[in-house]
């Protein structure tokens, strides 16, 4: 089990070196390809490159009504009153809910006996050369690589949310 210090270390040491050109699609599913590059902690010049996909479901609109219902499962009367007051004050309020699926079956890995900077340069060059517009090159921590991937997905949500909200507004959905 990962402790809090290792989790924080992984988050702080995750760097998206090459981000996808596109954001999460508002009205469809988006499939990102990732290349997560990490140094092995116990070996010099041993680098692992994990390659796989992350599927992002289309964002869903959660109205105050639905959002409150989701949050209040198992809460009592006082929480219900608070949620009712929120609904009254926030008629135009909406939250986007993003869903990601991470399938480990899509993940492959390769080991290299090179300095990490050389592996990063080759991987970026490959992605740029093949015009992989939905690909990301990420530098992360080997033992906590899934945390690094989670950080990437959160960054993609933050990067996409403004455009997704704008798309929903233009269609009159929020």
Q: Which fold has domain 13-60+98-170?
A: hypothetical protein tt1805 (3.40.1530)
Secondary structure letter of residue 130 according to DSSP: T
Ranges of the chain with pLDDT below 70: 1, 62-95, 100-105
Per DSSP, the three-state class of 27 is coil
pLDDT in tens, 53-91: 988 888 877 666 665 555 555 666 666 666 666 666 655
DSSP string, 57-91: EEEEEE-HHHHHHHHTTT--HHHHHHHHHHHHH-T
The domain limits of the chain are: 13-60+98-170
Structure tokens at 172: 């009159």
Burial of 55 per CB tally in 10 Å (0-12, 13-18, 19+): middle
pLDDT of residue 80: 66
């Amino acid at each position: 089990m990962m402790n809090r210090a290792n989790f924080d270390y992984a988050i702080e040491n995750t760097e998206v070196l090459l981000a996808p050109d596109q954001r999460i699609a508002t009205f469809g599913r988006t499939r990102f390809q990732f290349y997560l590059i990490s140094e092995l902690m116990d070996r010099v010049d041993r680098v692992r490159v994990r390659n796989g996909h992350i599927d992002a479901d289309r964002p869903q609109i959660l109205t105050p009504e639905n959002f409150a219902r989701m949050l209040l499962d198992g809460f009592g009367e006082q929480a219900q009153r608070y949620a009712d007051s929120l609904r009254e004050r926030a008629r135009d309020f909406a939250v986007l809910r993003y869903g990601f699926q991470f399938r480990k079956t899509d993940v492959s890995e390769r080991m290299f006996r090179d300095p990490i900077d050389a592996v990063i340069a080759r991987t970026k060059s490959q992605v740029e050369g093949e015009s992989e517009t939905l690909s990301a090159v990420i530098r992360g921590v080997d033992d906590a690589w899934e945390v690094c991937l989670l950080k990437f997905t959160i960054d993609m949500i933050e990067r996409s949310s403004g455009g997704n909200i704008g798309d929903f507004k233009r269609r009159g959905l929020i």
